[in-house]
Structure 1
Amino acid sequence: GNIIQRLIDRDYLTIEQVKDSQDKIGNRYSLNKLYDAIDQYIDQNVLIKDKKRKKTISVSDDLDNNPLNYLARKVEVEFGRYLSPIEREEVAQWLSVDHYTPEVIELALREAVLSQAYSLKYIDRVLLNWQRHNLKTVDEIERFLKRNR
């Protein structure tokens, strides 16, 4: 069915009347109620309230200790989209098969973004290039980059 109609039926999407600069009345969609519902859901389900210490621990803290999740999320933020399962697998292989460190992969991601090349293939080529130059640490790579800018 029509997603907009379903959101309106569930009261997540409202239509507000607004006046423009010429005092013309127009309609505008508002998703504020949906955002409120999402916030509430996250509060109840994603955050663990630590009552003894009066602080809130996010479930995602555990994920951050996992380099694959950390890197996948970094790439997703930079690319502005979710990675497919196959792409996640590729990131996992950089770590487990190619033994690149998360810091080196992050540097390669930065190079891709600076070149406006939002693809894992590009990141892979950057990593391979560094490998061919026998660059293993962040320091070595940064010195190499400075020389070749």
Structure 2
Amino acid sequence: MNNELFERWIQQGSLSIPKILLTHYRKVGLTDEECMLILQLHSFIEEGNVFPTPSVLSERMHIDVNKIASLLRVFIQRGFLSIESFEDKERSVYAEKYSLLPLWKRLLGELGEEQHGERTAAKKERKENIFLMFEKEFGRPLSPMEIETVNIWLDEDGHDSELIAAALKEGVLSGKLNFRYIDRILFEWKKTGVKTIEQARVHGEKFRTRQRNVPASADAQNGRTEGLSLPSYNWLDS
């Protein structure tokens, strides 16, 4: 990520850095005392003092100056803190400043991994629910090949678990409870751009309307029973 963009996000308040720090500092290996020093350093930088001395930091924290200096060196060694040169245009000189961007990026990385873990757990739960739904409708455990088919729908074809559940319900509604028919439904939905439950519902209703309007002679040719009526189905019902 571009450092200037990152800094601008912080300045505009788009990133609540102190909150992220207080929530995740232990995950990156910071102690309570080190976290407080980071907060004080961040506060000075926000106030415009971009290179506070150990003595200035010590006055706020009542910690020995030498220990403050030692902790700052440790932060740099551990990749939490960096010292950067910048042009002080008011004085027309180059100066140095502390940057906590390395730590902020580390914290956001931890936060991203945590959210990824939560998404992975939720995805796993949805997958397990799909298997249970299939077994309930089929009235038996799925075969290894059928389990692999569902995994392919999810992982390779990229079908949403809710749409797979909707395709299963469509198979139940149509009286064609088999994997080939459900696969055809999913293929058709993907080809026609169906991505949501609502779109699937509308698509299904249009299909059934066309089926109702097929002439009796065509029904007979296709082996259908004359006067066949399709039951209504509540797509919103889980």
TM-score, length basis structure 1: 0.54
In the alignment, the residues of structure 2 paired with residue 78 and residue 64 of structure 1 have an alpha-carbon distance, to the nearest angstrom, of 21
Which residue is equivalent to 2:25? none
How many pairs were matched up?
A: 88
Check if 1:74 corresponds to 2:133: yes
In the alignment, the residues of structure 1 paired with residue 158 and residue 198 of structure 2 have an alpha-carbon distance, to the nearest angstrom, of 17
Pick from 169, 180, 184 the counterpart of residue 125 of structure 1: 184
Pick from 87, 100, 105 the counterpart of residue 164 of structure 2: 105
Q: Which has the higher helix share?
A: 2
Structure 1 stretches of at least 4 aligned residues deviating more than 3 Å after TM superposition: 62-65
Q: Partner amino acid for 1:141?
A: A
What RMSD over aligned residues (CA atoms) do the two structures have, in Å? Answer: 2.0
Cα-to-partner distance string for 1:93-128 (whole Å, 9 max, x where unaligned): 111001111110000000111122121111101101
Which residues of structure 1 form unaligned runs of 5+?
1-61
In the alignment, the residues of structure 2 paired with residue 116 and residue 63 of structure 1 have an alpha-carbon distance, to the nearest angstrom, of 31
Q: Which has the higher strand share?
A: 1
In the alignment, the residues of structure 2 paired with residue 126 and residue 94 of structure 1 have an alpha-carbon distance, to the nearest angstrom, of 12
Check if 1:84 corresponds to 2:143: yes
Q: Percent identity?
A: 35
Which residue is equivalent to 2:152? 93
Cα-to-partner distance string for 1:121-141 (whole Å, 9 max, x where unaligned): 111011011111111111111
Which residue is equivalent to 1:42? none
Q: Partner amino acid for 1:93?
A: I
Larger Rg: 2
Cα-to-partner distance string for 1:9-59 (whole Å, 9 max, x where unaligned): xxxxxxxxxxxxxxxxxxxxxxxxxxxxxxxxxxxxxxxxxxxxxxxxxxx
Which residue is equivalent to 1:38? none
In the alignment, the residues of structure 2 paired with residue 145 and residue 133 of structure 1 have an alpha-carbon distance, to the nearest angstrom, of 12
TM-score, length basis structure 2: 0.35
